[in-house]
Amino acid sequence: MRGEPVGDVVVDVHGVHKSFGPLQVLRGVDLSVRAGEVTVILGPSGSGKSTLLRTINHLEKVNRGWIRIDGELIGYRGSRGKLYELKEKEVRAQRTRIGFVFQNFNLFPHLTVLDNLVEAPVAALRRPRAEAEATARRLLERVGLSDKAGAYPRQLSGGQQQRVAIARALALEPKVLLLDEPTSALDPELVGEVLDVIKDLAHTGTTMIVVTHEIGFAREVADTVVFMDGGVVVEQGPPAAVLDAPRHARTRAFLGKVL
Ligand code: ADP
Ligand code: MG
């Protein structure tokens, strides 16, 4: 599938629970992603996929369980029944190691494409501006948008905006890139160009967790396909196993609807 050897565990999710009031959204999720691996998460709407990604990126606090990123504990840790919370500074530091790509791109509308990529490395990592710009131009070339450096987001198509968002996430050289339905907001004819960029990253060893309904994409690039339903991982394994020979009725029912 890919040339790169897989390495150590980069994302380790253990027994994570998350509720919103009485609503139990994550009910004991375990997930492990190794360096260079692509994990695709599938599941019906409301199954907790976005919440899981958001807990990994500190956008939600977990109620129970723990998450390690690159060996470092994030979120909460249960020890003798006690829960510890990270300081805001630690949360910020860890967030710079995680790239997040949203369904709706979330670019800074008042900044040019180049400045969208330069802002965080300069502000959060204190990189010299010239260095950050050089990296930004290299990344724009990688996603095929060298000629758009001076444009504003509103001047770009949705597919182009999402490619900028991916480049922006990569500008912090994250340990892992999380993508939450990166093509769901796009017109059908723009989906391919964004998937091609993600495939290119997959083939060059970028560690990623991708929530998507694009089954063909999952089959082509995933090392592991995870099927979530009702706040738990129902089954996971190589694409050939989960997509072509699912063991659970819930997985079969879901695939029957999306395939
Ligand atoms: P998915 O991404 O799989 O569609 P989500 O993680 O977005 O699922 O949501 C799972 C459930 O949690 C849904 O019922 C959703 O309405 C609920 N939920 C998500 N975020 C919040 C929140 N901040 N407050 C209350 N309920 C939420
Ligand atoms: Mg979602």
Total-model pTM: 0.93
Q: What is the CATH number of the domain that holds 78?
A: 3.40.50.300
Q: Is residue 184 part of a domain?
A: yes
Q: Is residue 129 part of a domain?
A: no
Q: Is residue 45 part of a domain?
A: yes
Please determine, for residue 2, whether its predicted confidence score (pLDDT) is greater than 80: no
Domain that holds residue 26: 9-97+174-256
Nearest alpha carbon to residue 93 among 124, 70, 116, 117: 124
Q: Is residue 142 part of a domain?
A: no
Give the binding-site residues of ligand 1, using a 6 Å CB cut-off. 20, 23, 25, 43, 45-51
Q: Is residue 158 part of a domain?
A: no
Q: Is residue 192 part of a domain?
A: yes
Q: In 3-state terms, what secondary structure has residue 186? A: coil
What is the whole-number distance in angstroms between the Cα of residue 25 and the centre of ligand 1? 7
Q: Is residue 126 part of a domain?
A: no
pLDDT 10s digits, 65-116: 888 888 776 655 555 555 667 778 878 888 888 999 999 999 999 999 999 9
Provide the number of structural domains found in the chain.
Answer: 1
Q: Which ligand is nearest to the CA of 54?
A: 1
Are 122 and 132 a contacting pair, CB within 8 Å? yes
* Distance from C-alpha of 122 to C-alpha of 119, rounded to nearest angstrom: 5
Q: Is residue 250 part of a domain?
A: yes
Banded pLDDT at 126 (limits 50, 70, 90)? very high
pLDDT 10s digits, 181-237: 999 999 999 999 999 999 999 999 999 999 999 999 999 999 999 999 999 999 999
pLDDT at 61: 87
Q: Which ligand 1 atom minimizes the distance to the CA of 54? A: 6
ipTM: 0.98
In sign, the C-alpha dihedral spanning 149, 171, 95, 51 is: positive
Which protein residue's CA is at the shortest distance from atom 14 of ligand 1?
Answer: 46
